[in-house]
Structure 1
Amino acid sequence: VINSRTLFNETKNRSIVQKIILQINCKIGGSLWTVKIPFKNVMICGIDSYHDPNQKGNSVAALVASLNASYTHWYSKAVIQSKKEELVNGLTSSFEAALESYKTRNGQLPDKVIIY
């Protein structure tokens, strides 16, 4: 919330404007930061699952995968699965979709995949 005292404080105005510019940059596809990792054509993936005891045994399987060499664009997918369904089913379809997204963006599949 911006009040009249904030509008007359140049330091606060500068901070507000900078935050707005950073948000605009992200929304049009820009990156705020990057990581220099000495790998070429590598996809890094993270996988996790959650089992909610209050949801009749349903689970959530989630995957996130890098899509570019600077590790600033990511594919993510979460799948809700029933108690009787294997978690690997949802992760397999999520991983296949991540690979397709990587191929679409880069024109080829990754040479290596690192999963953690």
Structure 2
Amino acid sequence: MCNTRTVFRMNAHSTAVATIDIELDLDIATDIDVTTESGDEDVDSEVDQRDEVWEKLRRLQADHVWIREELMHLQRRMVTQCLARQRRAYQIMKQMQQLLCRLQVKYGRTWGQ
């Protein structure tokens, strides 16, 4: 039937906490002044690059959260299907036992116990 070892447990809380931590880190990082002796163009370039990196990081984190949500959804579906399969197996077993009992009564015999 179902192998409980194959069920992966996802902790959504840890992702939410990680998202908050990253946002706090990003806020602190944006407060730091970037200064170089080469001139204003270099500063603007570095700020643009830094903003681009932070934006990519935010996108990656959003993708990470989406992937975790999808994994949780798939896990729920897997467990639901496994339980449905188990339920059908028990129903079939019960029907077979009832059939065996009827046959035993009908033919006055006892098969297996």
Q: Which has the bigger relative contact order, CA under 8 A and spacing at least 6?
A: 2
Structure number with bigger Rg: 2
The normalised TM-score by structure 2 is 0.27
Higher strand share: 1
The normalised TM-score by structure 1 is 0.27
